[in-house]
Amino acid sequence: MTKEELEYKIQMLEQKVVSNTSEMISVQADLKIAQKQLEDINKPELTPLQFELIQEAIERGVGEFDFSDEGNYDKEFGINYDGKVHLENLDLTCTYELVEMITGRVHKLFTEAECPEEDDNSQLNNATHVEKVI
């Protein structure tokens, strides 16, 4: 091969690398979209109003929790070199109560569906079809 032929071959290979790189980026984006769709396939659909109601229920649940009650926290104090006392660590100890308040509010938004009891536990009852009625 001559010098010109090798330079041309290098130029063609560099173009191929650029082309394949852009194709790879496109395929990766398609892969991420497909993975997200697979993740969401069995999730029930909610309307924007339902999302808003859930948001409000969570805000009310958090709002009812008494964050000012010192008994809800474990506190650790320390002393600086200049003799000033400071709070080194503050842990919320009753997260279970906070979670219960929030889930209680969210549960009030829904009714629980009854699942039929099956004698054979080998079959799973999964809803995979959701219809949107306008």
Residue type, 18: V
Q: Rounded to 5 degrees, what are φ and ψ at 91?
A: -120, 135
**For residue 39, is pLDDT > 50?**
yes
Tokens 């969210």 map to which residue?
106
Residue 44 DSSP symbol: P
Q: Taking each helix axis from N to C terminus, what angle separates 95-107 and 48-64, rounded to the nearest 10 degrees?
A: 140
79's enclosing H/E stretch is strand 73-79
Residue 32 pLDDT greater than 90, yes or no: yes
Q: Whats the size of the chain, residue-wise? A: 134
Q: What is the pLDDT of residues 69-128, one digit of tens each?
A: 888 888 899 999 998 998 888 888 888 888 888 888 888 887 766 777 765 554 444 555
Q: In terms of Cα–Cα distance, which of 129, 134, 131 is closest to 41?
A: 129
The three-class DSSP label of residue 16 is: helix
β-sheet bridge partners, residue 48: none
pTM more than 0.85: no
CB 13 within 8 A of CB 21: no
Residue 75 has which token pair?
Answer: 């506190």
- CA-closest candidate to residue 104, choices 73, 60, 47: 60
What percentage of the chain reaches a pLDDT higher than 90?
14
DSSP collapsed to 3 states, 22-43: HHHHHHHHHHHHHHHHHHHCCC
